Amino acid sequence: MAEVTNALPVGELVGNNYEILGIAGAGGMGVVYRAWDAKLERTVALKFLPTLLNADVREREYFVLEARMASSLDHPNIGVIHGIEETADGRAFIVMGFYDGLSLAQRIAKAPLSTVEAVDVAIQIALGLCEAHAHQIVHRDIKPSNVMLTNSGSVKIVDFGLARLISAETATASGIVGSIKYVSPEQALGHRTDQRTDIWSLGVVLAEMLTGRNPFERGAIPAILVAILNEPPQSLDGLPIALQGIIYRALSKDAEKRYQHCSEMLADLQAARTELSNDSTNRKEATGRKTTHRSNDIRKYVEQASISTWSRAQKPRNRWLPLGLGLCGFVLLACLFLFPRVREQLFGSRIRVGEEHIAVLPFTNIGNNPENEALSEGLVDTLSGRLSNLDVGNKALWVIPASEIRRLKVMDPAAALKTLGANLVISGSIRRDGAAINLNLNLINTENLRLIGSVDVVDQAGDLAALQDEAVSRLAHLMDLPVSAEMLHNTGGSVVPAAYENYLTALGYMQRYDKAGNLDRAINLLGESIKTDPKFALGYGQLGEAYRIKYQLDKNQHWLDEAQGNLERAIQLDGSLPAAYVTLGRIHDVSGKRELALQEFQHALTLDPRNALAVRGLARAYERAGRVADAEAAYQKAVALKPDDWESYNLIGHFYDRQGRYPEAIKALQRALEMTPDNAEVYLNLGATYIDSADAKALPAAEQALKRSIELEPSYPAYANLASLYLSQRRYKESAEVNEKALQLNEHDYMVWNNLLIDYERIGDSSKAEAVRRRIVPLLEQNIQLKPQDALAQSLLGLMLVEDGAREKALEHVQTALALAPDDPDILANVSIAYELCGDRKQAVKYLETAIRKGYSLDKLRDEPKLQGLISEPTLRSGKPSP
């Protein structure tokens, strides 16, 4: 324990009710006392800031703000914060839970922990960090002294919210060397930090628990910083392979190559714990037996943990590491003169030495058979995916997505270098001669346009799966990349050549499912695929996704049933297909089964942590659960994972629209249009966003976007949104005409029928209005049976039943709607109308007042005939609530 000067004496009363029992600890961030809380009769810990920081008003404000945020955390692995108080002379202190036991630092000082014990502790730390990160709270100072091992066996993370107070002054005056040994490279460089800095620190702590030493231990602060920024961690040889992989991945010096979320590291820790529980597995790993796959992973993670960060260094933003960064600058200058590779990385070509940036260009369809065009497109995509999934050991292999190449219309090697920065391209042609398929591929160096080599593969039986395996294997050989049979096998069980060909062709059509007829073509081909090969798991999975998209387009429940049946069959055949779980999650999500959806998306991510589709699904599930910050982070991660995919921007644009962040939504959707300027779906969403913005000046742009969408691809959503726009502009006749066109394409959406009902009521055509109302009631009942939590459907059904005279049943649905969405102004307005139609004016006024208070617009109020009788009510005119 550090020496403490001016310590509070035992027995002194602090803050009126805390009696000092003794000093529990001391360090760079202040002194911790054990105290008795006389008011609540419990032992607590009191943490006082150093005098230096207490004197700094700005730092005190940050301290109070962050401690307040941290106090909101409630988790078994996070030390509880009871409150923030001050002494009579103005010294701030935190009242925390007191835990009998040892700090992890004290435990490590005795002896390294056993493998199982260390992993158990790491799992509990990760659980606590997952909870904190879910609330957008980053600890920033994870180290053994901030982890308590209680006598009851639980692990508690303490000192949340204090790490940002570390400065150059406290580092020198208070001996904060312990913290510096655990800082991430981005912290050391003064860059912005996020949850990944805690992941780095947990990796350091796990290594220290297992080996008894810090992997960056050096004799002085500058040497520690040099090691963190530039040197590999000390060897982990002798540890189980699974744990080596976890630690090295957590210690990647580039945060982008690290675990991106603590939940990913937690999943790996839990898997390692399961393996270690088997003594024989533990012994095999400890003696170094490993599979090729794991060996390649380890090499990749070791490389990322060893690469210097100096080439990415930027000007530091904080003041606490001037000495270390000064030394870094000196060594960097030396590197520039002594090591040409460093100089080349910083100032030379944008392609780094040792990295292969590959673009697979569109194939030439020899013979110009239009039936082979979609097949060629699907083949380019799967070939790019196969190359992307290769584990290439120490080499860096970047395969530019095929969708980005199509978007930018890159057709030749020179354009690939100029536009995409690719130093290698694969160009080729596909030719069919009866059943035989010939695939000719050329590997070209774009900087000198030299042909590195050619691959010419033929399969007389037309077996495209085997053809691709051979092509990838030979291309990898040309690039000196290791491949294995396991890397090449990804067709999901057995596959008949004709089935795989249909599957590839369907993929080509589904790339642009927004084009007329493409989705139905894909469904037909996938149906033929699984008919040809009933054990083709990928075919069933992709067919399930095609049906899900079909439901997305016309909201017919039948397509969801078809999708689910095909997905269940896919999983029966091969339970390791992430895409199948993603689609199942999406189906559960639209069906209102939120927990099931989350489970499916999370399972998909355990199979493939970088699956952008799973991240998108998780984002939507978070949003529906009210976890808006988590949702936004997931949507942004999906964009980062697939920045070349128009749908990534389309979905985050949707999200911003739903959150009322219209400028951000419009910007994202415009980015999607830049990628696919002929995309009817994005024009549709852009028009809907302009409408939602409630900006009268944006309505002409909304109408233009929706008409452009219809021009490109007439669809019921585009017609429905255009009709809604006309309805808002009181263009009732035009609205009715467009709604009728929407219903010709899809008669299953109750909202379109409801808008048509409003049109006819406003036009004064009572006979048509009554006919529409009779169509709406069974649709609403069917929808509620499938999704009972649909508050809008519940409220509309209540209105319809009131008009049918079923008052008691109507009010049941109205009250259900209120329980589901008590703050939705449109729901409240519907409830008001229902009570008005029931003759209960008092309740009608009450709910209309609430609707207006929650944002129901006066324009809507003036346009709704059934509310006109309430406008004259004195409380509504005066603005005072009714009693």
User: Hey, which residues are catalytic here?
Assistant: 141
Which residues lie below 8 Å from residue 162, measured CB to CB, with a gap of 6+?
Answer: 29, 63, 66, 67, 141
Is there a contact between 28 and 179 (Cβ–Cβ < 8 Å)? yes
User: What's the token pair of residue 865?
Assistant: 């005939």
Burial of 171 (0-12, 13-18, 19+ CB in 10 A): buried
Q: Strand, helix or coil at 418?
A: helix
The Cα–Cα gap between 438 and 442 comes to 13
Phi, psi of 843, rounded to the nearest 5 degrees: -65, -35
The two tokens of residue 93 are 């202190």
Q: What strands lie across the sheet with 155-157, from one edge to the other?
A: 101-103, 147-150, 155-157
Q: Is 304 helix (H, G, I), strand (E, B) or coil?
A: helix
| Nearest in space to 262 (alpha carbons), one of 253, 280, 250, 276 | 250
DSSP of 151-183 = TTS-EEE--TT-GGG--HHHHHHTTTHHHHTT-
Distance, CA of 159 to CA of 79 (rounded, Å): 8
- What is the β-pairing status of strands 396-400 and 424-433? unpaired
Please tell me the total number of residues recorded for the chain in this structure.
883
Neighbours of 728 (CB within 10 A): 18
SS3 638: helix
Helix (H) or strand (E) holding 866, with range, is: none
- Three-class DSSP category at 352: coil
d(CA 185, CA 252): 9
Q: Round to whole Å and give the CA distance between 117 and 853.
A: 56
* Main-chain phi, psi angles of 393, to 5 degrees: 65, -125
CB within 8 A of 838, min separation 6: which ones? 802, 807, 810, 811
What is residue 36's three-state secondary structure? strand
Select from 364, 745, 742, 675 the least CA-distant residue to 511: 675
755's CB contacts (< 8 A; 6+ apart) are 720, 723, 724, 727, 735, 739
- What's the rounded Cα separation, in Å, for the pair 219 and 139? 26
- d(Cα 726, Cα 703) in Å, to the nearest integer? 9
Tokens 């040409």: give the residue.
340
CA–CA dist 163, 197 (Å, integer): 12
- Give the closest residue to 105 by CA, choosing from 147, 144, 52, 66: 144
Tell me the CB-side half-sphere exposure of residue 654, using CA atoms within 13 A.
Answer: 16
Say whether 574 sits in a helix, a strand or coil: coil
